[in-house]
Structure 1
Amino acid sequence: MPTSLKSLKKDTRDFFKLHWNEQAIGEAAPKWSKEWRLSGSAPNYDKQGVYAFVKDGEITYVGSGVSRRKKGYEGHGLGARIGGYVRVEKQGLYRAHDERLAEAGALITIGFHLGYWHTAIALKYYLIANMPTKHNSNRPGSYP
């Protein structure tokens, strides 16, 4: 059974109830972006975080992009990761060269500020452990 965008957002809220202390951190938990259909700037390109391929309201793949601390691009993990899936057609317009993204047609992201890369990785594994997707094959221990 495929996972809906609505389920992804619910699972994300559940994750943050367990792992995000708004008072200690000083800000609300991040939220998922609107769908990006390969036009304009990718959402959260300047942050590290989690992305999901979306096809007709269903999640087909979940991945993460965290910075490798490249000088001048610290925290820009999502931009680099998304850049690996697309090629520039012309200014502000991209073409998916990855079959999974081409099939989906859109993606969403959730971006974390520098220093919260570990939370992004934890969210990714929490989501793929708890929701079936067409293209994720690594299923870490599931949550009851």
Structure 2
Amino acid sequence: MTLDATDRRILKATASGLPLTPHPFEEVARWLFLPEGEVIARMQAMQDDGIIRRVAVAPNHYALGLATNGMSVWDVADVQAEALGAQVGALPFVSHCYLRPRALPDWPYNLFAMLHGRSRGEVEAKRAEVAALLGAACRSNEILYSTRILKKTGMRLAGEG
């Protein structure tokens, strides 16, 4: 798919995220003097063509009072990793969860899940919940705590800030 001027306007208008309103696509359409249905259809076409990978919420956990964030890493039996990862990812306190190849012998972990809480104690309690869910399929785990937000930006078009 080739981007036309209207597609570029939509991408530029949404690069920092959708507006936090009850009808965000309607708002974007108003900004661009387009019908809401056209904005939705064009964004769907761009997503279908791989230009937009996904439309998702990227909350600022610090602003929500969840100042303690830890990437938990788990050494889970490979045959169970996908099914267990789906269960971990469905937990309400996990913002993202994914599988990665191990980097043996130094890094045995293949399941990653970002945990959020108001304190280390709260995050550690959530880590214990994940450990209980994984049970005997998990051989070991660690948690790496965030010290700052590194990225909270959307898509950028080549040659544009």
Task: Output the TM-score relative to the length of structure 2.
Answer: 0.27
Relative contact order (C-alpha < 8 Å, sep 6+): which is higher?
A: 1
After TM superposition, the score normalised by the length of structure 1 is 0.29
Indicate the structure with greater helix content: 2
